[in-house]
Chains A and B, each alone.
Chain A
Amino acid sequence: MYLPGEFDYINLMRLGAAPAASGGAARVAVLGFATTQYYAAVLRGLGSAAAFPLVTYEPEYDTVHQTVLDEHSPLYSFRPDFVVFLTAVQRLRNVLLSADQSDRGRIGEHEADQLVSLMRIVSQIPSVTVVINEFVLPYERPWGNFSARVDASLARIVRAINDRLREAAAEAGNVYTVDCDYIASWDGKRAWFDERLWFYSKSFCHPQALPYVAGQAIDVFRAVKGKSCKCVALDLDNVLWGGTIGDDGLEEIRLGELGEGEGEAYLQFQLWLKELRARGIILAVCSKNDEEKAREPFRRHRDMVLKESDISCFIANWGDKAENLREIARRLNVGLDSIVFLDDSAFERNLVRELVPEVCVPELPVDPANFIPYLESLNLFETAQFSDEDRKRAGFYRANALREDEQRKFTSVGEYLISLNSTAAFERFDDYHLPRIAQLVQRTNQFNLTTIRHSAEDLRQFAEDPAYFPFYLTLTDRFGDNGLICVIIGKRDGTRLEIVSWVMSCRVISRRLEEFALDQIVAVARDAGIAQLWGRYVPTPKNGLVSKHYEKLGFRLAEELTDGSTTWELNVSEHVQSDAPIERAALQLES
């Protein structure tokens, strides 16, 4: 996470000591096999600094088992949104060292079993997300460098336990691990371990490391809540290459071999960005330049790693960057709060922080060789999931920009939509698509009628429950595949079908896909003997876009509640089939 301003563990703990306003704060239970006070205070401090308020519950020291196993313990009445398990390799090492070497493998497995079973119990709490700190690899090496080859060495056993935790997390679906050994190794084990503090106060690390390790948990929380960075907006001069393309020209900018060490640093940074793109982060350009000049290196510089096709939205003009970032958000259909803006100019950074405070604007080191280490230390791109869709996403957004260009050639939008030759699949949930379905349900904020974040497990159950009508849609057109972009979950109640959730990706807005979807639902409902559809709109700060969704689809307003939500009805017999220009695709089983 990026925090504006200087924070160390002492002022974070002070910040965390002030109680968070409990309204809207996420509830975190901190279960520790070590002292939890320092960690919990830093966690709350980070939460306030990052405008992600947290309230915490910590059981008495060293009572994790009792707390989890007692169904009447305060853990369950606390109703946590998140549970964090704090592990301490210092405790584990004593368990292992007191055992005979031949027994240690077995004891390690037993420790892992216990942790996994606690984690499984806690993961059953409704709509909870569980985070486990993996064990930091111990610094003791009785066999020296040979230790890693000895089965009974602490390092071997701790590695095996960590592997087990990761596997169990992957199986559970709502459990994530924090790679503490990575965090510890960033500053080194000498900075992480302070044996005095372990012996005196059972601190699992020196508190100076707490902002990093607690920050990782918050990064996971935010990713699970769909509040992660989806787009990097890049300045060009002195960010992607050294020098000024407008003044220095193509031959003089420093990039790759021609720029000596500095040029290599920019090249490396481009490779780093390209890798982000490959995992689904959208790249955009936001530069003060003449557009033709700004595009020249992308087209003609031989060491340029990023090509024009890697940039989903390219804005180079002399307008102010705040306005240009809004334009990028609009064109790409992403929220301003999911954009990271990278610029070497302190003036531009501060301007954007002032005028578009939603955008994340980290500092940028003066030396390009420090770009990657600095940005990696912020862990801006945490994710709760990774699917095939992510790999393709940046491409989807680029295809979208091409579609927008094309749109200008047609006199009417209707004509244009027909020319797209769209086909859409409308199918009941299946195992293959569940990860992407869960992702869409977790992440979508704008086109989301009820914003219910169904867990992966709930979604799996809907698929098998005959009372539920859970459907996904995919959309393909002549520009390419848009992937799985819509999820609709209906629940039968007698002769009525309640639309529990209707979620759609913003990249397929204005394609009349809603009308197509409704036609399909009505057909399914009719076959099932359902007489009426019933839908609900629950307003949030982000979903104003769909406040008239049901009205536009011909539903009748049934009720308007004081919290601003509305309910809507449509009699199946009164539905008029739409003429949306979308073909229903035949069911294809992907492999």
Chain B
Amino acid sequence: MASLAFVFEQVFGRPVELTDATTAADVEGWDSVAQILLILASEREFGIRFESSELANVANVGAFVTLVKSKLRTGEQA
């Protein structure tokens, strides 16, 4: 969660209070552009890659964390 907080801070330029239930509607400026930036910044930060089908699937922080974690685990196995 700590590093994801860093990604949010990069994109929004300020620390963002995050819980698993935080959604786009709770964070000022979390629009479609910010959405893509969050994805690209986490790709860079964690060395992972999102699939096309996943780009729209991070409606809240909990889902985002789960997705990132699952990718990190797959990465470890590989």
- Taking a contact as CB atoms under 8 Å apart, the answer to whether B13 and A14 are in contact is yes
Contact A196-B37, Cβ < 8 Å, known A10-B10, A10-B11, A11-B10: no
- 25 A–B contacts from the bound complex (CB under 8 Å): A10-B10, A10-B37, A10-B41, A11-B10, A11-B13, A13-B33, A13-B37, A14-B11, A14-B12, A14-B13, A37-B33, A196-B50, A196-B52, A196-B55, A197-B36, A199-B52, A200-B36, A200-B52, A200-B56, A201-B32, A201-B36, A206-B40, A207-B36, A207-B37, A207-B40
Dominant secondary structure of chain A at its interface with chain B: helix
Residues of B within 8 A of A (CB): 10-13, 32-33, 36-37, 40-41, 50-52, 55-56
Give min CB distance, B9 to chain A, whole Å: 11
Smallest beta-carbon distance A134→chain B, Å: 25
Residues 175-221 (chain A) with a chain B CB within 8 angstroms: 196-197, 199-201, 203, 206-208
How far is B37's CA from A208's CA once the two chains are assembled, in angstroms?
11
Q: Is A298 an interface residue (CB 8 A)?
A: no
B56 to chain A: closest CB distance in Å?
A: 7
Q: Are B33 and A38 in contact (CB under 8 A)?
A: yes
CB-CB under 8 A from B12, the residues of chain A are 14
- How far apart sit A14 and B51, CA to CA, in the bound complex (Å)? 25
- In the bound complex, CA of A201 to CA of B56 (Å): 11
Closest 4 CB pairs of A and B: A14-B13, A196-B52, A200-B55, A10-B10
In the complex, what's the smallest C-beta–C-beta distance from B30 to chain A, in angstroms? 13
In the complex, besides A14-B12, A196-B55, 17 extra interface pairs with C-beta distance below 8 angstroms are A10-B10, A10-B11, A10-B40, A10-B41, A11-B13, A13-B33, A14-B11, A14-B13, A37-B33, A38-B33, A196-B51, A197-B36, A199-B52, A200-B36, A200-B56, A201-B32, A203-B36
Chain A contacts for B51, CB-based, 8 A: 196
* Contact residues in B for A38 (Cβ distance below 8 Å): 33
Q: Which residue of A lies closest to B7 (CB)?
A: A10
Q: How far is the CB of A209 from chain B (nearest CB, A)?
A: 12
- For B11, what are the chain A residues with a Cβ–Cβ distance below 8 Å? 10, 14
Q: How far is the CB of B52 from chain A (nearest CB, A)?
A: 5
Could you say which residues of chain B place their CB within 8 Å of the CB of A37?
A: 33
**Smallest CB–CB gap between B63 and chain A, Å?**
17
CA distance A113 to B40 in the complex (A): 36
Query: Which residues of A are found within 8 Å of B40, using beta-carbon distances?
Result: 10, 206-208
Q: How far is the CB of B45 from chain A (nearest CB, A)?
A: 11
Closest Cβ of chain B to A47, distance in Å, is 18
A196 cross-chain contacts in B, Cβ below 8 A: 50-52, 55
Within 8 A of B (CB), among A384-418: none
- The distance from the CB of A207 to the nearest CB of chain B, in whole angstroms, is 6
Interface string of A26-40 (1 = CB under 8 A from B): 000000000001100
A203 to B12 CA separation, bound complex (whole angstroms): 20
Q: How far is the CB of B21 from chain A (nearest CB, A)?
A: 25
Residue of A nearest to B31 (CB): A37
Point out which of A10, A41, A199, A208 has the most chain B C-beta atoms below 10 A from its C-beta.
A10
Looking at the assembled complex, report how far the CB atom of A266 sits from the nearest CB atom of chain B, in whole angstroms.
36
Instruction: Please indicate the chain A residues that have their CB under 8 angstroms from the CB of B55 in the complex.
Output: 196, 200
| Chain A residue at minimal CB-CB distance from B33 | A37
Docked CA distance A203–B37 (Å): 12
A591 to B33, CA, bound (A): 56
Task: Please name all residues of chain B whose beta carbon is closer than 8 Å to the beta carbon of A13 when the two chains form the complex.
Answer: 33, 37
Bound together, the chains give a CA A203 to CA B40 distance in angstroms of 13
- Tell me, in angstroms, the Cα distance from A37 to B40 when the chains sit together: 16
Cα separation A159 to B11 with both chains bound (whole Å): 37
**B contact residues around A10 at 8 Å (CB):** 10-11, 37, 40-41
Interface centre among B12, B32, B37, B56 (most CB of A within 10 A): B37
Q: How far is the CA of A206 from the CA of B44 in the complex (A)?
A: 12
Residue of A nearest to B41 (CB): A10
Complex Cα gap A316–B11 (Å): 48
Report chain A residues within 8 Å CB of B50.
196
Alpha-carbon separation in the docked complex, A197 to B39 (Å): 11
Rounded to whole Å, the gap between the CB of A461 and the closest CB of chain B is: 44
Q: How far is the CB of A30 from chain B (nearest CB, A)?
A: 15
Rounded to whole Å, the gap between the CB of A193 and the closest CB of chain B is 14
Closest Cβ of chain B to A83, distance in Å, is 23
Chain A positions 1 through 43: 1 when the CB is less than 8 Å from some CB of chain B, otherwise 0: 0000000001101100000000000000000000001100100
CA distance A197 to B49 in the complex (A): 12
Within 8 A of B (CB), among A214-269: none
Residue of A nearest to B44 (CB): A208
| A97-140 Cβ-contact flags toward B at 8 Å (1 or 0) | 00000000000000000000000000000000000000000000
